[in-house]
Amino acid sequence: MLQLHHPLLDVHPEVATALAERQAVVALESTIISHGMPYPQNVATALQVEAEVRAHGAVPATVAIVDGRLRVGLSTADIERLGQQGAEVPKVSRRDIPFIVAAGHSGATTVAATMLIAALAGIRVFATGGIGGVHRGAAQSFDVSADLQELAQTPVAVVCAGAKSILDLRLTLEYLETHGVPVVGYRTDWLPAFFTADSEFPVDYRLDTAAGIARAMHTQWALGMRAGMVVANPVPAAHALPRERVDAAIATALYEADQQGIGGKAATPFLLARVNALTGGDSLLTNIALVLNNARLASAVALQFQLIAG
């Protein structure tokens, strides 16, 4: 491992070489490994996503905290360890990083934490499944994902299938608008809703090419605007679930979470697991398909961004 930019940061040699040679690099999160899918599908999917990034001309950099070190780029053994330990590995957002590092522990990074660590390493493009957002009932609970505030202050473009459909999508878009975070639809005028290709809410801008997205990213940051960017990439039509079916499963899962008093960081993993169960496992297959789709687009965007940024 090589240190880059920060004494607590270890960058995998493959990633460090790519960054030094100004090659395209795509950050990937690790919460999806420990908390997003069951073992061994989580490990298989993580390795498949890395392979997809490489197949499309970029270098993957899966982010996690390993034994108190911020790691950018993991070995297969690291990914296997995170996958086997599953939910025993703490889910780490921005606020948790100092405590996990100080204790010398390991942690799986959320969208927010992955963005922060990727930015420390100089990585500008990040592929994930879906971002967090404003939770339903937030008017009473004030439950708003730290992902949104990270997007407001960290210059990384997040390629995702929109916000998770378990959330309040309207309020999520309002929050992003207030904080100056653009939501770009890739070949779509509508915000994707994770398991479904669209929702009733329009995106801020539609861009139909990776080069167009890269130009917008470069211009935004060249102007000194420090916010990130949401690049909303709809799940492929062949893998999308009917909206009515997803909405019914989400309604049931939300009711169960309320009855069991599940909230905070535990809410999203619980809801996604219940939706998967209620859809007979179909939502997990959709999740895998959309992550791979996002990895492909993120690789293309990263390649175009490096051509522009030099």
Active site includes 29?
Answer: yes
Active site includes 91?
Answer: no
**Which of 21, 164, 177, 256 does the annotation list as catalytic?**
164
Handedness of CA 292, 293, 299, 305 (dihedral sign): negative
Q: What is the DSSP letter of 36?
A: I
What gap in Å lies between CA 59 and CA 93, rounded to an integer? 24
Token representation of residue 86: 């599953």
Token representation of residue 145: 């994902």
Comparing C-alpha atoms, which of 75, 92, 88 is closest to residue 31?
92
What pairs with residue 135 in β-bridges? Answer: 167
What gap in Å lies between CA 36 and CA 108, rounded to an integer? 10
What gap in Å lies between CA 162 and CA 10, rounded to an integer? 30
**Which of 14, 29, 174, 256 does the annotation list as catalytic?**
29
DSSP string, 143-173: -B-HHHHHHHHS--EEEESBB-TTB-HHHHH
Q: In a 3-state reduction of DSSP, which class is residue 95? A: helix
- Show which residues are catalytic: 29, 164
